[in-house]
Amino acid sequence: MLMRMNRHETIIIGGGPIGLEIAASLQIAGNDCIVLDSGAIGSTIDRLFPPNTRFFSSPERLEIAGVACSTVEQEKITREEYLCYLRQVVDTVGIDIRTFHHVETIHRSDDGFDLEARTRSGACRRFRTDRLVLATGGMARVRTLGIDGESLPHVRHELGDPHQYHGRRVLIVGGRNSACEAAIRCWRSGAHVHLCHRNEVVNERVKYWIRPELIALMEEGRITEHAQTTLERITEDDVQLVSAGTGETTRLEVDDVLLMIGYEHDPSMMHHLGVRTDAANGAPLFDIDTMGTNVDNLHVAGTATAGTQDRFRVYIENCHIHAERIASAITGTDSPEASNGRLLEES
Ligand SMILES: Cc1cc2nc3c(=O)[nH]c(=O)nc-3n(C[C@H](O)[C@H](O)[C@H](O)COP(=O)(O)OP(=O)(O)OC[C@H]3O[C@@H](n4cnc5c(N)ncnc54)[C@H](O)[C@@H]3O)c2cc1C
């Protein structure tokens, strides 16, 4: 009885923008589908964006399911505004999403897939589906440096609320958007900021409203830059930095260390299901027209299709087409032409 109640034509794992967009397309086509997500709606954005961070992408390029997305001040959209937008899409379209359902096991059976999901309360929920879509994203785990002290409690990978850094000596490691934005926001919140990165100059692809300001603050000596430098060791009281050019070692007393060096894709679910993946970055191999993998009735979508991205080339705006392709493949309608979406700089 329980199994029958939880049987669906399609289950989408991942309630990020692309998983929701697929659910909307399928639902409009009359397919009985649900979405399962480990966290809240848009969990990656919810967990990894610091408060009030603005997307690089323009709001209209983040629109899903034909629901208009705009901001009061005609600016780039913030984390909070976009999460509000996603909630509205879910409610407007009536998407059936089960939040805080972390899919732990999947077994293929003769007529589909059996899933077990763990809820926030620790309960186990079982589902059966004919078709499975993995829209699980590409930022499952943080990159690590593999150095001593990396697991100390004052070492973090996400900025969180900059308020907490007031009056503290903060070392930020990384040279891309997240690290550069964190440096400015921590400094504005009253922190003493050191930025350590491996390049000669701040990466030219950093957001155009961040890079010039950061460079000015570093030139004025308000933020201390450690260019062409690597972090070698962390203790409770200090860090050891090594200059790539001179080999010189510097000991720096700090209160907090923010390692903002990116994220990695977790291909374990795909491997467990027998999906063929690229050996280099874990990206699944799939049919471009249907988003289907080598496993029958198993599709992939969104940034999960790209594996680990060193430089972001697959993001929300060039994944909208995945929803249309999957809906076409599942409901039997014509597949759309490939999108000619403009590629944005990395996030
Ligand atoms: C600071 C920052 C700024 C960014 N700026 C931009 C930008 O400007 N433009 C842009 O396009 N992108 C940006 N990104 C990247 C953006 O977050 C992704 O492009 C987007 O979230 C991808 O959508 P998705 O639906 O493919 O995957 P995700 O949003 O990552 O969704 C995947 C979902 O799958 C769920 N999931 C995974 N495994 C399981 C499981 N076993 N069981 C249940 N659920 C599971 C996760 O909880 C998650 O909610 C930024 C990222 C960061 C951190």
- 338 found inside a domain: no
C-beta separation of 172 from 154 below 8 A: no
**290 and 232 in one domain?**
no
What pLDDT digit, counting tens, does each position of 268-318 carry? 999 999 999 999 999 999 999 999 999 999 999 999 999 999 888 999 999
Distances from the Cα of 197 to the Cαs of 193, 219, 242, 259, in angstroms?
A: 13, 16, 11, 11
Tally the residues of the chain. 347
- 234 found inside a domain: yes
Residue 42 Cα to ligand 1 middle (Å)? 7
C-beta separation of 51 from 189 below 8 A: no
Q: Are strands 141-142 and 263-264 parallel, antiparallel or unpaired?
A: antiparallel
Residue after which a domain boundary falls, among 259, 283, 298: 259
**31 and 129 in one domain?**
yes
Q: What pLDDT, on the 0 to 100 scale, is given for residue 117?
A: 98
- 206 found inside a domain: yes
Mean pLDDT in each 10-residue stretch from start to end of the chain (347 residues)?
A: 70 98 96 98 97 95 96 94 98 97 96 96 97 97 97 97 98 96 98 97 93 98 98 98 94 98 96 96 96 97 96 93 97 65 41
**165 and 126 in one domain?**
no
Q: Is 347 in the pocket of ligand 1 (CB under 6 A)?
A: yes
**268 and 133 in one domain?**
yes
How distant is the alpha carbon of residue 330 from its chain centre? 26
Q: Whose CA is nearest to atom 49 of ligand 1?
A: 43
**92 and 45 in one domain?**
yes
Q: What pLDDT, on the 0 to 100 scale, is given for residue 336?
A: 60
| Nearby residues of 255 by Cβ (< 8 Å), 6 or more positions away | 154, 168, 169, 170
The number of the ligand 1 atom at minimal distance from the alpha carbon of 55 is 8
- 347 found inside a domain: no
Q: Is 16 in the pocket of ligand 1 (CB under 6 A)?
A: yes
Expressed as residue numbers, the domain containing 169 is 144-259
| Structure ipTM | 0.99
Q: Is 13 in the pocket of ligand 1 (CB under 6 A)?
A: yes
The number of the ligand 1 atom at minimal distance from the alpha carbon of 36 is 43
C-beta separation of 80 from 68 below 8 A: no
The number of the ligand 1 atom at minimal distance from the alpha carbon of 50 is 1
**246 and 198 in one domain?**
yes
**236 and 154 in one domain?**
yes
Q: Is 49 in the pocket of ligand 1 (CB under 6 A)?
A: yes
Q: Is the CA virtual torsion 17, 19, 20, 25 positive or negative?
A: positive
Q: What pLDDT, on the 0 to 100 scale, is given for residue 5?
A: 53
Q: Whose CA is nearest to atom 2 of ligand 1?
A: 49
Cα 40 to Cα 102: distance, rounded to the nearest angstrom: 11
**289 and 313 in one domain?**
yes
Assign 103 to helix, strand or coil.
Answer: strand
Q: Whose CA is nearest to atom 1 of ligand 1?
A: 49
Residue 83 Cα to ligand 1 middle (Å)? 12
The number of the ligand 1 atom at minimal distance from the alpha carbon of 14 is 34
Distances from the Cα of 134 to the Cαs of 1, 79, 291, 301, in angstroms?
A: 26, 23, 10, 6
Q: Whose CA is nearest to atom 27 of ligand 1?
A: 137
Q: Is 58 in the pocket of ligand 1 (CB under 6 A)?
A: no
**136 and 226 in one domain?**
no
What pLDDT digit, counting tens, does each position of 235-245 carry? 999 999 999 98
- 344 found inside a domain: no
- 336 found inside a domain: no
H helix and E strand count, the chain: 8, 17
Give the total number of structural domains in the chain: 2
Residue 302 Cα to ligand 1 middle (Å)? 8
Residue after which a domain boundary falls, among 259, 282, 301: 259
| Nearby residues of 334 by Cβ (< 8 Å), 6 or more positions away | 328
- 70 found inside a domain: yes
Q: Is 38 in the pocket of ligand 1 (CB under 6 A)?
A: yes
Q: What pLDDT, on the 0 to 100 scale, is given for residue 337?
A: 58
Q: What pLDDT, on the 0 to 100 scale, is given for residue 40?
A: 98
Residue 73 Cα to ligand 1 middle (Å)? 25
Q: Is 329 in the pocket of ligand 1 (CB under 6 A)?
A: no
Closest residue by Cα to residue 49 from 199, 263, 302: 263
Cα 336 to Cα 34: distance, rounded to the nearest angstrom: 23
**116 and 58 in one domain?**
yes
Q: Quickly tell me which residue has 């200090």 as its tokens.
A: 238
The full DSSP string for 123-184 is -EEEEEEEEEEE---S-SEE-----BTTTSTTEESS---GGGGTT-EEEEE-SSHHHHHHHH
- 82, 303, 313: residue to mutate for ligand 1 pocket, most atoms within 8 A of CB: 303
Q: What pLDDT, on the 0 to 100 scale, is given for residue 310?
A: 86
The number of the ligand 1 atom at minimal distance from the alpha carbon of 317 is 11
Phi/psi of residue 308, each to 5°?
A: -75, 130
Q: What pLDDT, on the 0 to 100 scale, is given for residue 340?
A: 42
Residue after which a domain boundary falls, among 259, 287, 317: 259
Residue 212 Cα to ligand 1 middle (Å)? 28
**162 and 281 in one domain?**
no
- 172 found inside a domain: yes
**245 and 102 in one domain?**
no
Write out the two tokens for 273: 């299901």
Task: Report the CATH number that the domain containing residue 231 is assigned in CATH.
Answer: 3.50.50.60
